[in-house]
Every structure is written in structure tokens, then in C-alpha cells.
Structure 1
Amino acid sequence: MAEAAITASDGLWQQVRSEAQRAADADPVFGKALATAILAHDDFAAALADLIGQRLGSGTAGRTRFTSYSRDAFQGEPDLIETASRDLQAIARRDPAIADLLPPLLHYKGYVALQAWRVSNWLWRHDHRDAALLFQNEASNLLQISIHPAASIGSSVYLDHATGIVIGANVVIGDEVTILQSVSIGRRGELPTRSPRIGRGVYIGGGATILGDINIGDFAKIGAGTVVTGDVPAGCTAIGNPARLTNCPKPASAA
């Protein structure tokens, strides 16, 4: 498993470096920034750790601290880099405005916030709770995205635009989920375990709110501004406040 992850991330890293070198050759001024952010690093893990440090850290000491935590996480759990690779590739597949990997890596705050959360989740699981919450706090302050370290998020996830996203503790989000800006997902009531579970391939439109001990089925769609407090079956679309279901798949006819 580890060997496969390294192979996949190495391939992505070579593509990112090639894109960065072409961009640097075309624009020497921008090339100076690329030399620091991409071309000076030996692998994707080092570049991503440095990017997280640059975006979350204040001053040299702050940047060093966040970069160091990120490197520790990536070394301690190499599959985090494979997951980060899948997240980046998911943006290139789903965002019609881009075709390359370098722009979302450098400029999409939803991407770096998600990878910072992956570090915070690693810290949380290894009983570095204060450091994990520091990551959450700084991502909230600087990127306007707050994801609790105790949440669970799959791979190939895309936080599109991302400003104002709030994901609470114990929320479970599956693979291939797309979440737009100003979305809130969290518990309803005081018990922390009563948090939503979001299935694979779900699309959550801007301004949606999903609350409580509920399931959002695979490949469901949540419309913009929808308030969901009950289950949404797989493949259905939920719209409105309160949410109502539409476009649900027809049950298979009996043989």
C-alpha cells in the first residue's frame, strides 16, 4: 500500500514540477515565487508542508511550526500524501475553469485548508489535541474555513470557493464529495455523536445547512440554501427550507 501511494504521488509531483518550470520560463517574475514554492523542493510532501506553513503561519517562527507539524504528519502517515494527490486531481477533473494541477495547488484556499485539516486530524489521532486545534483556529482565521480535527473526511474531496465552510466534530464525509461555499455541517443538539454522515459522490451547494444524526446517501445532491435535518436517500436531490426530495431514482422493477 505504501509503495503504491509513493508511486502515485511521485507521478503527480513530476507533473506539478513540469507545470511550474513552464510557468517560470514564461514569466521570470512569477518564476521567483515558483522557485521557492515548488522547484526548491524534492518531493510533493515537502512542498505541501511548506505551503501549509506559508498559509497558516505568522512570521518565521509560525511558518516553521506549521511546516514542521505537517512534515511530521506526512512522514508518520505517508498515505496522507496519496490522499492529497487525489484531492488535487479531483479539482482538475471537476473544475471546468482549470486543466492543470499547479493553479489549485498554489491558489485554491479550499485545497490547502483541507490538507491542513488532514494534518490536524493526524495530530488529533496521535493525542496532540492542542496542536490540532491550533491548526483549526488558524485555518478559520486566515482561510475562513473551519473543520474540526475530530471530523472524518475521505479522499478526492473538493472544497469549491470554500469561504465560510464549517464542518463539526464527528461529521463523516465520504470520498468524491464536492462542497461549495458557506456550507455548515454539524450536530443538532448537545450530543457530539449526533452528526451527519455524508456518502460518496455527494454534491452540496452553496449556503446549505446539514444538521443532526442523519445520512446523506451516495451521489445525492443538496441544493443551494437547502436546510437538511432528515435523511436523504442515495441519488436524490434535496431542495428548499425545510428540505424536500426530488429526482429520486425510480426503484428497480420486479423481475
Structure 2
Amino acid sequence: MTLSTDQLWSAMAEEARTFGGNEPVLASFYHANILNHDNFAAALSFHIAAKLGCDSVPAMLIRDVFHQAFERDPGIVEAAVADICAHYDRDPACDHYGMPFLYFKGFQAIQAYRIAHWLWGEGRQAMALFLQNRIATVFDVDIHPAATVGSGVMVDHATGLVIGETAVVGNNVSMLHSVTLGGCGSGSGPRHPTIGDGVLIATGAKILGNILVGEGAKIAAGSVVLESVPPHSTVAGVPAKVVGRPSEAVPALDMDQHINGSD
């Protein structure tokens, strides 16, 4: 279920008050990152910028860049809300809305990427590449700023995720750690995969080249995908072959890792 920005912010603030009261050691942490801010966008910019700041580019300057992006493209904040709801709905370990915001580096890396992507579109490639490097250093997630990523995306654990320059990721996609959306060839045209809506990409899958993974498809763990994948099919192996069909129309939502559903 996707909440509005105001609904999500109210839920996060109530959680922060409760958890801060129950664990006084963390009261200042919840205050600094959630309760001290007027809205979700302000808290998001503060929290992610604090992680990305460094000696040469302090968090305060990075936060200013986030504010510019949020003001000029409100869709960035809307996508962040959808991403939190995706984690809450799909990850059984996520039992409150503030958890992805505060603790999940997959969520945090995607939000930082969104700012880098906005900068890239604004012609500010130097700043975008700086953020790409900081995201890779801090979160161990490497997403080229020119890549296109939809909303409602859940990246679980996230360590080792790589998304190349011309990759396209649709809406409501779920992927796990060590996934690579890699390139093939050295030309200037598209050379990375396009991932359709609702796709589930399991741990360690490598999807390489200018190929299409159709909507509602499932990529099994450890697969190496070198050819386009039909919609609503399951592929597995090295190289990956079609081995069945997901049991649900949108496998990204139920996160079932079996080859042919739960049977």
C-alpha cells in the first residue's frame, strides 16, 4: 500500500516518538533525523546528506543540493515515499516505516542516486559523478547517474549492486544484493539492460547487455542473463534459460524465490 507523503511522515514521526521514549539512548538520534524536521523531504535531505558528506564537501553543502532537487522535481520525494512503502510491504523484516529510512542502505543509496540522476539531467555531471563515487564508497552500491530507475523499488541488503549508464529499471521492481545490470560492448548507444515493471531479480544475478527483461519476470539467484527474457517467465542458470513461470503476475511484490512459485 502506498501512503501519501503526509501520511508516511505522520507515521514515521509517531514511531520516532515511541521508539525514542522506549530507548532513551536513541532519543537524540530519532530527534535529529526525524522529529527535528518539518516534513519528510527535509528529514530525507538531512539524513542522506549526513552519510555522504566528507571533509572536502561537507554534508551541509550536499543537503543544499538535495533541497534544490526536491524543489524543482517533487517526483523525487514521491518516489522515495513509494520506495519506503515497497520495503514495508515486501520485506517481512521491515515492521515500521522508519526502518528503511534510518537503516536500510539499499533505500538510502537509491535516494542518493535519484539526486545524482537529477543533477545529470541538469548538466551538472561533475556533481553527479561526485555523488556516484560517495554512494559507492559509503553504501557499496554503484549506480551511474545516467541510469533510469522507476519508483516503488526495493533493493534488499544492496551490497555489491551495480547498475550501468544506459540501464533502465521500471516501477515496482525488487532486487537483492550483488545484482549487476552490466554493459556489453564499448559503443555509444544502449549497452545495458532494460528491466520491466514488477520484475524480481534474486541474489547475485548478472544481466548483461542491451536486452529486455519483460514485465513480471523472475531472475533466479546466481543466473547470468545474456538474452532477452519474455514477460511473466522465470529464467535460471548460466547462461540463463526459461525454466517456468512465476506463480504471481508481479513476482517483485511477493518475493517468492522458488523457481516455479512455492510448489
- Shorter-chain TM-score bucket reads over 0.9
Tell me if 1:206 matches 2:240: no
| Cα distance, 1:152 vs structure 2 | 0.5
Query: How do 1:203-242 residues align onto structure 2 when only pairs under 5 Å count?
Result: 203-242=200-239
Percent pairwise identity: 40
CA distance in 1, matches of 2:168, 2:226: 15
Q: Whose helix proportion is higher, 1 or 2?
A: 1
Output the TM-score relative to the length of structure 1. 0.92
Query: How do 1:72-91 residues align onto structure 2 when only pairs under 5 Å count?
Result: 72-91=68-87
Residue 26 of structure 1 is aligned with which of 22, 27, 37? 22
| Cα distance, 1:60 vs structure 2 | 9.0
| Cα distance, 1:61 vs structure 2 | 4.8
Residue 93 of structure 1 is aligned with which of 89, 95, 98? 89
CA deviations over 1:46-94 (Å, ceiling 9, x no partner): 1000111111112495211221111111111111111100000000000
CA distance in 2, matches of 1:39, 1:59: 27
Secondary structure at 2:128's aligned position in 1?
A: helix
Residue 176 of structure 1 is aligned with which of 172, 177, 180? 172
Give the corresponding residue for 1:111: 107
Q: Which residue identity is paired with 1:73? A: A
Residue 146 of structure 1 is aligned with which of 123, 142, 146? 142
Distance 1:43 1:150, change over 3 A: same
Kindly tell me the number of residue pairs found equivalent between the two proteins. Answer: 244
Tell me if 1:57 matches 2:53: yes
Give the corresponding residue for 1:16: 12
Distance 1:11 1:59, change over 3 A: farther
CA distance in 1, matches of 2:148, 2:43: 24
What's the RMSD between the two structures over aligned residues?
1.5
User: Contact (CA 8 Å) 1:203, 1:221: kept in 2 or not?
Assistant: yes
Give the corresponding residue for 1:45: 41
Give the corresponding residue for 2:256: none
Secondary structure at 1:53's aligned position in 2?
A: helix
Give the corresponding residue for 1:196: 193
